[in-house]
C-alpha cells in the first residue's frame, strides 16, 4: 500500500529526467503571449491562475518615494488575538473584504468609505479567534453575488446590498456539515479560504478538526444560485472507490481530515480543479489509520464538471507530522525546448516546490522515493519511503544540527543546547517520539497559506518562508478499562484538550489561548456551550455527553476534579492511546528562536532551471534590531504580489509590522513603511479612475504582536486625483 500512487504517475518518476530547460538568461515571455492582461484583482490570488501578478505599472521602482497612504478603513472589530488574513477583491471600483469578526464589508475602493456591511454573527460579542482569507464573487446577466463562510454556514449575499440571497439554501445560507456521510450534529466544518467559481458552481474545500472526532474533508461543488450540491469527491474513499485499500476497512466511517483548507485553483479552459489536501486526523498518531491514507496530503486533479479524479500525487504517506499542503497551487506556464508547458506549482511546509504538467500529472523534475525511519511509538505503522523532488532545491533548511543552535547570547545558546540534547533531530520524516522530535521547518511551514507569487515573464516563483523549529512530543492519554469506570474533569481535559491547550492549561497563545483565569470571565454554561458546539478552529465535543461536558467545564474554570461514571463500551472508535503535549516552538529562555538565523526568508525560485535565483532574510525583531541584530528574519504569514515592472510587494512579517517593496530581480529593498498592525495577509493592487492602489489588511494578532482591524491603501501622491 505504501507504494500506491496514481498508476500513470509511476512511470514518470524516472522518465522526468529528459526535461531540458532554457540556458541561463533565457526568457519566459513567449509563454504568456495568449494570457490575460492582469490588470484586475477579482478573486483570491488576483486571478484564475492564483499567481499574485499584475501588469498595472503606474507605481514604479523610480517613483516609490511618492508612495503614500491614500486611505485607511478601520473596522473597529479587533480584539485580543484577532487577525485579518483576507486578500480583498476589487470589482468595478468596490472592494469586498472581511474583518476580524468576519463581517463582510463593501468599500469604495478609491476612498475606503463603507458602502454596506453584513454581520453573520448577529452582533455576537464573544466569537473567539476567527479566520477568513476572503470572499468569492460571481455574476450573471441578472445578479451579482458574494460568497463566504462563517462557522458552519456558507453564505450568498447580494453584492450590491449585502443582503442574503433568498434563492440560496435557506435564507441565503447552507450548512456545510450536510452531505458528508455523517451525522451533522457534532461536526465542525467551515471554509477559511475562498472557494472558486467554475461555470455555475462554487467549488470549496473545508477546515475541519485536526483531532478526532473529525469530519471528512470532502471536496464539494455547489450550485451558485440554489446552494444544492452538484458533486462530491470523497477524500477518504468508501468501499469500491480508488484508494480505499490504503485505509483500514472501516476508516471511512469514523476517521476525518484529508481536507482542503488551503484553497484550490481551477484551470478554467481545461475544466481541471487542482486541490491540495492536508493530513488525516489525528495529525500526529495514526494507529487507527494504518496505510498510506489516500487522499490525505495529496495534490488532486479533478474534473471540475463532475468531481471525477483525473490524477493525483501524494506528497506524504501516512502523515504524522502535520505536513498539510499549505496553500493553493499556482498555474504557471514555462518555456521549454521552444514550447510552452502549462504546469501546476505546489509549495510545501517542508520547503519544497513540486511541478507537474496539468493534464497528465507528469513531474517536470524527477521525484525520488527515499527510505525513512519507521520506528514509531507502539501501535504506529509508518511508511517505509517518502517522495521528495530533486529540483528545485528546498527553499528552507532541512535538518537542525547542534552547530545551528542560537548564538544570540551565551545563556541562550546553553539553554538551546540543553533542550536539544533531550530530543531527536534527524531531518525530514523523523518519527514522533516520547522524548520529543524536532520538526524543521515547523508545523507552520516553510511555505504557508499566503502562497507563492509567479512572474510569467521570467519564470520566477516568489515564496516567503518561515524557518522555525518546533518540538513534537507524544504523551499517553488516560488508560482505559473495561466495564463501567470513573473518569474525572482532569482526565477529560488531558484526553480532549491538552494537545492544543497544554496539560497545564497555559496554551500556545495566540493560536491556542490559555485557559487559565477564566473563572472571572466566563460562566460554566458559556464554557460548556463552547465545548459542546466548538468555536473558531476548535471542534465541538457533543459526543462526550452533557454530564462530562459540565464536569470538564468545571475543571477548566475552578480546578474542581469531580468524578463521573462512563461506559467505555459505548465510546467512540476514534479514541487513541496517545496524543501530544501541545504545539511547542523551539525557543530559548527569552522567547526567541533557539536556532541561528535566518528565522524567515524571502526567496526567488527559477522554475525553468530548477534553481534558487536569490534568497534574503525577511523580517526582524525591532528590539533586537535596536541592539544591532538586524535582518535576522522572522516568522511571516501572508503572501507577496509581483508586478510586470519590477516590484515584489509584501507585508507578512509578524514582529516589525512592516510593509515592504523589493526589486524582484535582486531582492534589494526599495521601500518600506510601518503598518498599524502586522500585515499578515496577501496585498492586492487595482486601479480606479486612472489611479493605481496597493491595499493590505493590517490585522496582526500573531506571536507577540498586537491585533488590528484596518485596511490600508497606498497610492502615488496626487496621482489621478
The answer on pLDDT for 2 being more than 60 is no
**pTM assigned to the model:** 0.89
Query: Nearest Cα to 273, choosing from 200, 204, 176, 225?
Result: 204
Residues 324-337: what's their mean pLDDT?
Answer: 96
Phi/psi of residue 524, each to 5°? -60, -40
Looking at CATH, the fold of the domain delimited by 478-575 is given as Cytochrome Bc1 Complex; Chain D, domain 2 (1.10.760)
The answer on pLDDT for 381 being more than 70 is yes
**670: Cβ–Cβ under 8 A, 6 or more apart, which residues?**
61, 64, 647, 661, 662, 663
Q: What is the pLDDT of residue 255?
A: 96
The answer on pLDDT for 573 being more than 80 is no
Round to whole Å and give the CA distance between 133 and 590: 32
Confidence of residue 567 (pLDDT cuts 50, 70, 90): low
Chain centre to alpha carbon of residue 117? 26
The answer on pLDDT for 508 being more than 80 is no
Condensed to tens digits (0 to 9), the pLDDT of residues 254-278 reads: 999 999 999 999 999 999 999 999 9
Round to whole Å and give the CA distance between 597 and 617: 8
**520: Cβ–Cβ under 8 A, 6 or more apart, which residues?**
none
Domain boundaries, the chain: 478-575
Q: What is the pLDDT of residue 480?
A: 55
The answer to whether residues 197 and 156 touch, using CB atoms and an 8 Å cutoff, is no
CA distances from 326 to 259, 448, 528, 597, 652 (A): 11, 5, 32, 23, 15
Condensed to tens digits (0 to 9), the pLDDT of residues 39-53 reads: 999 999 999 999 999
Round to whole Å and give the CA distance between 278 and 298: 7
Residues 331-343: what's their mean pLDDT?
Answer: 94
The answer on pLDDT for 458 being more than 90 is yes
The answer on pLDDT for 350 being more than 80 is yes
Query: Nearest Cα to 297, choosing from 264, 319, 330, 328?
Result: 319
**272: Cβ–Cβ under 8 A, 6 or more apart, which residues?**
266, 301, 302, 303, 304, 310, 358, 359
Q: What is the pLDDT of residue 543?
A: 58
Confidence of residue 552 (pLDDT cuts 50, 70, 90): confident
Q: What is the dihedral of CA 526, 531, 532, 533, to 10 degrees?
A: 80
Mean of pLDDT over the chain: 91
The answer to whether residues 683 and 694 touch, using CB atoms and an 8 Å cutoff, is yes
Residues 540-547: what's their mean pLDDT?
Answer: 70
Confidence of residue 12 (pLDDT cuts 50, 70, 90): very low
Round to whole Å and give the CA distance between 191 and 572: 26
The answer on pLDDT for 367 being more than 50 is yes
The answer on pLDDT for 683 being more than 60 is yes
Q: What is the pLDDT of residue 5?
A: 37
- Beta-bridged to residue 108, according to DSSP, are 94
**Listed range (25-39, 269-283, 297-311, 439-453) with the worst mean pLDDT:** 25-39
Residues 662-676: what's their mean pLDDT?
Answer: 99
Query: Nearest Cα to 206, choosing from 142, 256, 269, 143?
Result: 256
Condensed to tens digits (0 to 9), the pLDDT of residues 404-447 reads: 999 999 999 999 999 999 999 999 999 999 999 999 999 999 99
Q: What is the pLDDT of residue 487?
A: 78
Amino acid at each position: 500500500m505504501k507504494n500506491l500512487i496514481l498508476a500513470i504517475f509511476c512511470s514518470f518518476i524516472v522518465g522526468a529526467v529528459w526535461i531540458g530547460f532554457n540556458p541561463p538568461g533565457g526568457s519566459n515571455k513567449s509563454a504568456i503571449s495568449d494570457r490575460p492582461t492582469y490588470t484586475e484583482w477579482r478573486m483570491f490570488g488576483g486571478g484564475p491562475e492564483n499567481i499574485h501578478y499584475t501588469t498595472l505599472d503606474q507605481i514604479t521602482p523610480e517613483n516609490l518615494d511618492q508612495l503614500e497612504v491614500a486611505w485607511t478603513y478601520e473596522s473597529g472589530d479587533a480584539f485580543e488575538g484577532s487577525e485579518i488574513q483576507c486578500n480583498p477583491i476589487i470589482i468595478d471600483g468596490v472592494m469586498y473584504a472581511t474583518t476580524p469578526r468576519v463581517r463582510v464589508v463593501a468599500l469604495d475602493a478609491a476612498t475606503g468609505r463603507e458602502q454596506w456591511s453584513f454581520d453573520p454573527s448577529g452582533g455576537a460579542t464573544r466569537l473567539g479567534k476567527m479566520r477568513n482569507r476572503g470572499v468569492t464573487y460571481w455574476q450573471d446577466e441578472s445578479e451579482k453575488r458574494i460568497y463566504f463562510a462563517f462557522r458552519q454556514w456558507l453564505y450568498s449575499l447580494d453584492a450590491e446590498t449585502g443582503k442574503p440571497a433568498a434563492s440560496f439554501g435557506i435564507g441565503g445560507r447552507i450548512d456545510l456539515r450536510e452531505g458528508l456521510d455523517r451525522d451533522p450534529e457534532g461536526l465542525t466544518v467551515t471554509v477559511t479560504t475562498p472557494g472558486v467559481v467554475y461555470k455555475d458552481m462554487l467549488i470549496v474545500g473545508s477546515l475541519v478538526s485536526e483531532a478526532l472526532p473529525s469530519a471528512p474533508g470532502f471536496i464539494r461543488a455547489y450550485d451558485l444560485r440554489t446552494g444544492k450540491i452538484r458533486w462530491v469527491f470523497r477524500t477518504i474513499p468508501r468501499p469500491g472507490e480508488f484508494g480505499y485499500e490504503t485505509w483500514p476497512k472501516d476508516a471511512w466511517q469514523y476517521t476525518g481530515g484529508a481536507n482542503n483548507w488551503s484553497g484550490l485553483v481551477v484551470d478554467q479552459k481545461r475544466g481541471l480543479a487542482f486541490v491540495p489536501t492536508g493530513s488525516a486526523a489525528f495529525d500526529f498518531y495514526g494507529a487507527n489509520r494504518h496505510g498510506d491514507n489516500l487522499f490525505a496530503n495529496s495534490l488532486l486533479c479533478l474534473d471540475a464538471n463532475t468531481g471525477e479524479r483525473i490524477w493525483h500525487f501524494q506528497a506524504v504517506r501516512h502523515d504524522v507530522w502535520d505536513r498539510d499542503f499549505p496553500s493553493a497551487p499556482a498555474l504557471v506556464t514555462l518555456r521549454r525546448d521552444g514550447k510552452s508547458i502549462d504546469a501546476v506549482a505546489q509549495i510545501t511546509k517542508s520547503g519544497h516546490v513540486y511541478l507537474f504538467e496539468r493534464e497528465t500529472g507528469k513531474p517536470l523534475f524527477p521525484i525520488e522515493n527515499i527510505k525513512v525511519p519507521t520506528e514509531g511509538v507502539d501501535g504506529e505503522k509508518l511508511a517505509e519511503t517518502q517522495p521528495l523532488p530533486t529540483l528545485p532545491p528546498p527553499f528552507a533548511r532541512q535538518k537542525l544540527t547542534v552547530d545551528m543552535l542560537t548564538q544570540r547570547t551565551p545563556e541562550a545558546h546553553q539553554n538551546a543546547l540543553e533542550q536539544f540534547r533531550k530530543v531527536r533531530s534527524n531531518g525530514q520524516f523523523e518519527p514522533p517520539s516520547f522524548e520529543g522530535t524536532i520538526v524543521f521547518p515547523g508545523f507552520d511551514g516553510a511555505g504557508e497559506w499566503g502562497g507563492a507569487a509567479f512572474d510569467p515573464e521570467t519564470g520566477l516563483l516568489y515564496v516567503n518562508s518561515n524557518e522555525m523549529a518546533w518540538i513534537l512530543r507524544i504523551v499517553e492519554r488516560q488508560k482505559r478499562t473495561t466495564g463501567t469506570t470513573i473518569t474525572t474533569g482532569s482526565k477529560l481535559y488531558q484526553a480532549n484538550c491538552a494537545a492544543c491547550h497544554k496539560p497545564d492549561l497555559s496554551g500556545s497563545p495566540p493560536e491556542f489561548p490559555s485557559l487559565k483565569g477564566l473563572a472571572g470571565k466566563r460562566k460554566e454554561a458559556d464554557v460548556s456551550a463552547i465545548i459542546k458546539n466548538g468555536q473558531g478552529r476548535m471542534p465541538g465535543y457533543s459526543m462526550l455527553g452533557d454530564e462530562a461536558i459540565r464536569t470538564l467545564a468545571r475543571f477548566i474554570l475552578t480546578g474542581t476534579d469531580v468524578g463521573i461514571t462512563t461506559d467505555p463500551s459505548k465510546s467512540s472508535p476514534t479514541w487513541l492511546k496517545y496524543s501530544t503535549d501541545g504545539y511547542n516552538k523551539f525557543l530559548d529562555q527569552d522567547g526567541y528562536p533557539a536556532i541561528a538565523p535566518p528565522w524567515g526568508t524571502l526567496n526567488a525560485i527559477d522554475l525553468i532551471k530548477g534553481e534558487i535565483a536569490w534568497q534574503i532574510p525577511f523580517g526582524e525583531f525591532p528590539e533586537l534590531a535596536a541592539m544591532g541584530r538586524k535582518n535576522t528574519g522572522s516568522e511571516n504569514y501572508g503572501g507577496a504580489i509581483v508586478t510586470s515592472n519590477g516590484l515584489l510587494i509584501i507585508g507578512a512579517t509578524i514582529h516589525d509590522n512592516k510593509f515592504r517593496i523589493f526589486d524582484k530581480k535582486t531582492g534589494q529593498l526599495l521601500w518600506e513603511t510601518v503598518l498599524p498592525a502586522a500585515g499578515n495577509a496577501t496585498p492586492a493592487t487595482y486601479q480606479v479612475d486612472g489611479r493605481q492602489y496597493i491595499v493590505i489588511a493590517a490585522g496582526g494578532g500573531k506571536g507577540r504582536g498586537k491585533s488590528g482591524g484596518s485596511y490600508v491603501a497606498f497610492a502615488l501622491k496626487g496621482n489621478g486625483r
